[in-house]
Structure 1
Amino acid sequence: MSTPIALTVAGSDSGGGAGIQADLKTFSALGVYGCSVITALTAQNTREVQGVFDVSPSFVRAQMRAVFEDIAIDAVKIGMLGRADVIDAVRLDLKRYKPAWVVLDPVMVAKSGDRLLAKNAMKALIDGLVPLADIITPNLPEAAALLKLKEPITDPDAMVEAARRLLDFGPRAVLLKGGHLAGDSAADLLFTEEGGSEWLPGRRFNTRNTHGTGCTLSAAIAAGLAKGQTMGEAVKQAKAYIANAIATADTLDVGGGHGPVHHFHGLWHG
């Protein structure tokens, strides 16, 4: 038996709720061994991002080389990259090592509202990384930013059009997250080049403890792919996992702002 292994390429969250920390917790909770390449250090808690220290592109590549030249990576999840030169470094090594699966979460803004992607890095993300991704997982504000929309995405028809346009950027699939829509529903839209569109229903939970939801969902997709699931299976199991993690988030008492979801809800309660 081979051990399923996933790699997260993302920033570190010192508060433990998002980024590298959330990804590794998710991998472990879902039975996948996790490796990491850290692209930035953040001084962050549940209330705010107090500082960001970028890792140099050369050291990002050194981490990538160290991992790929020794460990058989089944899937890669990409999160916060921050700068155009770091994006380019990751692009070069994805093309060099050609992992079987790439899940890209286009992280732009923290839950606190602090910006995590430099404005001049958007083109590098769209041109360099999105075409290498098997699936991208933007929320509605991120999708609007990628598409340079002047108005927010506020209804299901606009979501379908946005997902179709994002697919034209080159990924094999788009999971457009509908959590920013008004109402009790939190349906997501899976749009693939092979199978068209599929709505994935979801309920909205009354909690402010949603820090790290995007990181956790994309990491859960990568975990499913690492275990040999199809794209559809991986997305659906990831959505079920994050729903349970949000539903049990209030059993944790962490910080005074947007607390984390409960990654280990299946193992222990707060």
Structure 2
Amino acid sequence: MMPESLSDSKPIVWTIASSDSAGGAGIQADLLTFNALGCHGCSIIAAVTAQNSTEVVGYESISPALFITQLNCLLQDMPPKAIKIGLIPDAELLVKLALWLAQHKAEYQFVVIADPVLSSSTGYNFVRQSTLQIWRQQLLPQVDLLTPNLPELALLSNTPQQSNDLQARQLLLFGCQTVLVKGGHSAESNTVTDQFIATTGHFWLKLPRLNTVHNHGTGCVLSSAIAAACAHGYALADSTIIGRAYLQQALSCSYATGKGAGSLQHHGWPVTPGYFPQLQQAAETIDDNLSFAGITAPIGFYPVIDSVAWLKRLLPLEPDVIQLRIKNGTADEIEQQIAEAVLLSRDYKLRLFINDHWQLAIKYSAYGVHLGQEDLAQADLVAIAAAGLRLGVSTHSYSELLRARQIKPSYIALGHVFATQTKQMPSQPQGLTRLKRYAALCNDIPTVAIGGINAERLDMVLSCGVAGVAVVSAITAQQQPEQAFLALKQRVEQHYAHQI
């Protein structure tokens, strides 16, 4: 698999954990996960275990001197983008690690993902009261994301009688930035629900429970997959979604090894929709019966303009679909322009999408409406669907993409692909690699690429598998807009004609 960047280098990720002689968990599973997700994995070994698929027989910890030497040696030459912490059974090593992270984390700006392995799946107990105290007082303040299962959550929070939510928030009080509460140990029979809890908000990830005995190393694989996604520059919430999809993919293909629990099968970047979780945000409910009108003809070339004056210039060129995005003017002026634009679109059989102003799109019976993420919460989606309007939704990340997919819109916009000057963007450009992954995840919903797309970049964007390409300045900022429109439209039409 190609790395995230266009260079030959891969982001470096470290695992600070213990060796699993059975090969399904620990250092071995972490390195397999890093490699599958396009990272270069480095390992700092804290202990060597003697185990097979049925039991852990014992372990020996690395000396503190050698442990620190591993850390410092790697840092000099191969500093990490992200660090995954796994099983560290020795209290002195935990203290050393906490001090080392406190010394270097701010300077090197690496993300720390910690999986607090306190016991093995076969029942071997690694926990001591001394190690729990070190986790709470020294290590958690250095952790960006902690991934405890339910028993680990209760032990680390020291509040066994409280709810999962309150236990996780206790860990935040100890200094951890974010907690992902894994639901694999819950009583849910058909579903696994993981809860992502941060000081800034929380959400739930739900996936079908895969009832397989071959599940050795699930916690290791999840946390190392999250670390790998962070190393590629994805935000923590997105990295968690990617990690959870990677785990579901690996679990679905798990296999037997010895007489006990088998191991997970490592593949590449997850792109199959069925492996991705359902995302549920706090205080947000989505009507499962919501249904928007579909788009029968391909979207293809999709200009975005900001006035009726531009619409009148382009209509003689026979556009098939256009978005009208008006940001300036009084309420009366905006309504007048939308009313006129919808009337013109009928005369020219144009599929006209109205950006943001969904009430006016309904009032004047436009073909469709396009909404950004911030508008979804305020818009009456039921009314838009009932009016028969098509709905397009903007997305800039995996979390926004999952949210959009659950609404089941008529199309999903993916962007911004490249840097753009047409509007202020809160996120960084997504780039072609991410665009291709997003498009693959939406193989059942039409997608439109948008953001910084021009004549030079058009072919690269079209090759990513999107159903349409939206442009703004590639037309409106050109000296000869009509000629630019016709040239781009022809190239897009030729591309999709060859796909049939």
> TM-score by structure 1 length?
0.92
Aligned to 1:165: 170
Aligned to 2:249: 244
Output the aligned Cα RMSD: 1.6
User: How far apart are residue 179 of structure 1 and its match?
Assistant: 0.8
Aligned to 1:116: 126
**Aligned partner letter, 1:15:** A
* 2:246–2:269 Cα contact (<8 Å) kept: no
Aligned to 2:198: 192
What CA distance in whole angstroms lies between the structure 1 residues aligned with 2:154 and 2:269?
Answer: 35
Change (3 A) 1:56 1:118: farther
* 2:159–2:167 Cα contact (<8 Å) kept: no
Aligned to 2:264: 261
Aligned to 1:66: 73
Structure of higher RCO (CA pairs closer than 8 Å, 6+ residues apart):
1
SS in 1 for 2:249: helix
What CA distance in whole angstroms lies between the structure 2 residues aligned with 1:90 and 1:165?
Answer: 22
What CA distance in whole angstroms lies between the structure 1 residues aligned with 2:77 and 2:38?
Answer: 21
**Aligned partner letter, 2:133:** K
* 1:11–1:19 Cα contact (<8 Å) kept: yes
Aligned to 2:300: none
User: How far apart are residue 264 of structure 1 and its match?
Assistant: 3.2
Is 1:15 aligned to 2:22, yes or no?
A: yes
Aligned to 1:217: 222
Query: Could you tell me which of 59, 65, 75 is aligned with 1:52?
Result: 59
Q: Which runs of 4+ in 1 moved over 3 A?
A: 264-267
Is 1:6 aligned to 2:9, yes or no?
A: no
What CA distance in whole angstroms lies between the structure 2 residues aligned with 1:60 and 1:254?
Answer: 31
Query: Could you tell me which of 72, 97, 119 is aligned with 1:90?
Result: 97
User: How far apart are residue 3 of structure 1 and its match?
Assistant: 2.3
Query: Mind listing any 5+ residue stretches in structure 2 that lack a counterpart?
Result: 1-6, 271-500
Aligned to 2:179: 174
User: How far apart are residue 118 of structure 1 and its match?
Assistant: 3.1
What CA distance in whole angstroms lies between the structure 1 residues aligned with 2:61 and 2:157?
Answer: 26
Aligned to 1:37: 44
User: How far apart are residue 265 of structure 1 and its match?
Assistant: 7.1
Aligned residues: 259
SS in 1 for 2:192: coil
User: How far apart are residue 138 of structure 1 and its match?
Assistant: 0.3
What CA distance in whole angstroms lies between the structure 1 residues aligned with 2:102 and 2:74?
Answer: 15
What CA distance in whole angstroms lies between the structure 2 residues aligned with 1:263 and 1:115?
Answer: 27
What CA distance in whole angstroms lies between the structure 1 residues aligned with 2:75 and 2:118?
Answer: 26
**Aligned partner letter, 1:222:** A
Kindly, what percent of the aligned residue pairs are identical?
Answer: 39
User: How far apart are residue 178 of structure 1 and its match?
Assistant: 0.8
**Aligned partner letter, 1:190:** F
Aligned to 2:4: none
SS in 2 for 1:232: helix
Aligned to 1:208: 213
What CA distance in whole angstroms lies between the structure 2 residues aligned with 1:150 and 1:224?
Answer: 32
User: How far apart are residue 266 of structure 1 and its match?
Assistant: 7.3
* 2:37–2:269 Cα contact (<8 Å) kept: no
What CA distance in whole angstroms lies between the structure 2 residues aligned with 1:185 and 1:10?
Answer: 29
What CA distance in whole angstroms lies between the structure 1 residues aligned with 2:219 and 2:29?
Answer: 10
What CA distance in whole angstroms lies between the structure 2 residues aligned with 1:266 and 1:44?
Answer: 29
* 2:37–2:268 Cα contact (<8 Å) kept: no
Residues 142-182 of structure 1: CA deviation (Å, up to 9, x unaligned): 0001122344x7xxxx2222222221111111000011111
Query: Mind listing any 5+ residue stretches in structure 1 that lack a counterpart?
Result: none
What CA distance in whole angstroms lies between the structure 1 residues aligned with 2:237 and 2:199?
Answer: 12
